[in-house]
A and B are shown apart, each in its own frame.
Chain A
Amino acid sequence: MKRVTVILLCLGLVLTANAQKYMTRNGYIGFFSGTPIEDIKADNNQVASVIDISTGEIVFQVLIKSFKFAKALMEEHFNENYLESEKFPKSTFKGKITNLAAVDFSKPGQYEVIVEGDLNIHDVTNKVSVMGSIEVIPGGINANSKFNVVPEDYKIKIPAIVRENIAKIIEVTVAIRYSPVDNK
């Protein structure tokens, strides 16, 4: 009986140590547009993301409708006029950590990473390369990044009348806490 317990314990340890995929379904992505006229901020706490630490592959999926704004009218314009969330409900990113060797997933600590991949917004896909950090913590992984997106690159049309209210470059913030896929 005792031996069985020991075997089970060892197996458990091996399984945990071998967790290759980490995920979240309530990650955070927000963006910020700052102009002298007004600051606009939106938050999305419903981000789904998976990271495979053996290959460095990383995938994000968000619903455009999940972005919340301080003002209801901004949210309406964002969905109906700019991002056309009825037609293009999702935004996705598929990419890879290019310097995976720099991260030791078995050792808690903070590591700087470069992630390259395809960012799809408003049904337009662009290659992007962003800087971020991976923090290995007991029982999980934190990932953070800040990068810029230019709405014009994604064929997002902003009417001339509000052009001065919306920044030419939008700052995007990503904050994710991943858990191993096995223990959901």
Chain B
Amino acid sequence: MKKSVKIALGALILLGLTGLGIGLYLYNKQDKNLQKAEPDFVITSVDLQKAFEDDEAVALTKYVNKIIEVTGTVESIKGVEGNIASVVLKTGSGLSSVICTLSSQSDPVELVSGNEVTIRGECSGFLMDVLLNNCTIIK
């Protein structure tokens, strides 16, 4: 009798701790590190921008919140206060680009305008440009 109460109590405590652990884990979960994540789409900056320009609604449902690995030519690199930088990739349009905002862990070093680069990021949508966030440079 006593033993079974002990077991029940132990199980209850274990359950509580597991719950607490899962809760804390979920609460403190950080953004995905995309260096290790599998991309949902692999595409060039030209094709990605064109998809949004051709049909924004279709492109939004297809790409938003997805992990996109985009390859393109660096148009420019923009530093921002708080040192998060954006890499602007060339597209077929002169006015609209693909802007990749690097994650705070990422370092925008050794990128030169005109060079080709592959960047993985989460698509947040389209304003004047296709916007990728939490980006990391693959090569």
Contact = CB atoms under 8 A, between A and B. Distances in A.
Interface of A: 25-26, 28, 43, 45-46, 48, 61-63, 65-66, 68, 70-73, 75, 89-90, 175
A26 B133 CA distance: 12
A66 B124 contact: yes
Given A26-B86, A26-B101, A66-B133, A46 B124 contact: yes
A68 B134 contact: yes
Contacts of B125: 63, 65-66, 89
Nearest to A70: B30
Contacts, number: 67
5 contacts: A25-B97, A43-B84, A48-B129, A72-B30, A73-B29
B58 to A, nearest CB: 15
B31 interface: yes
Given A45-B101, A46-B133, A72 B128 contact: no
Interface stretch (B13-21, B42-50, B74-82, B112-120): B74-82
Q: Is the interface of A mostly helix, strand, loop or mixed?
A: strand
Given A45-B84, A48-B128, A175-B81, A65 B64 contact: yes
A46 B30 contact: no
Interface string B28-39: 111110000000
Contacts of A62: 127
Given A70-B30, A71-B29, A25 B127 contact: yes
Contacts of B131: 46, 63, 66
